[in-house]
Amino acid sequence: MNPIIQSLFDRKSVRAFEDRPISEEDRNLILDAAIQAPTAGNQALYAMLDIRDQGIKDALAVSCDNQPFIATAPMVLVFLADTRRWLDCYEYAGAPHRKPEAGDLVIACEDALIAAQNAVVAAQSLRLGSCYIGDILENKEDVTRFLHLDEYVFPVAMLVFGYPTAQQRDRPKPKRFGRDYIVHKDTYSRLPEARLRSMFRDVHPEHDFDQFMNAFCKRKYMSDFAVELSRSVREYLKPFLHK
């Protein structure tokens, strides 16, 4: 297995970091690697916020489901789907145009997430850990205010980076579901119950399927933060749906 693929297999989320800064050289390498990511029509339909202000980091830690490690992470990036930049270009050039719609947002989200993963891979090569923070989608009103977001800008993902603690380095990576359950040939099909139970058993043999799913559904899918996330995203979508 070559080093790049091995790095992808080894990478795991890191939520505890050493009290050690990331050099400006390495920060810039991560940012520049992200910018080299594939992008629709070479438009770079995203923006990256390099969060340096401790007050903003503290606010993000609270708004993102009260996770203190965000506030202490040596590097925090927020990836935005940015449909405003090209809209401004069209307006400045006097080009006939329309307002951004749902399809424009989805393409911009793709660009932003591809760039984010480039940043993750670059950081891994520098022996830096990282963690995606999906909770950036929550609390639209607060996040919009302290990040000064435009109505046609959408926070797709947040990443925190740092040098992993020894405990985090030694922690085993959670097992992933097997290829046979994830890869469909040619067309999509729902997995029957027996296959779903088998998929779960391969990864969590120590748990009872029914008990685990009921507990997980309650803790995650039906949680207050999941409800808030959906509410917040609906608000972000309104300008793109012309509502």
Tell me the CATH number at 9.
Answer: 3.40.109.10
**208 within domain boundaries:** no
pLDDT tens, residue by residue, 93-106:
999 999 999 999 99
| pTM: predicted TM-score of the whole model, two decimal places | 0.95
**121 within domain boundaries:** yes
Residue 190: its pLDDT value, please? 97
Which residue in 72, 168, 180 sits closest to 129, CA to CA?
Answer: 168
Residue 153: its pLDDT value, please? 98
**17 within domain boundaries:** yes
- Structural tokens at position 108: 């911009």
Q: Is 75 helix (H, G, I), strand (E, B) or coil?
A: strand
**169 within domain boundaries:** yes
**227 within domain boundaries:** no
**229 within domain boundaries:** no
**The dihedral sign for the CA sequence 230, 232, 237, 241:** positive
**Domain residue limits at 138:** 3-174
Residue 130: its pLDDT value, please? 99
Number of domains in the chain: 1
Residue 243: its pLDDT value, please? 66
pLDDT tens, residue by residue, 70-96:
999 999 999 999 999 999 999 999 999
pLDDT < 70 regions, the chain: 243
**186 within domain boundaries:** no
HSE (CB half, 13 Å, CA atoms) of 220?
7
Helices (H), 171-217: 179-182, 193-203, 209-216
- CB neighbourhood size of 59 (10 A): 20
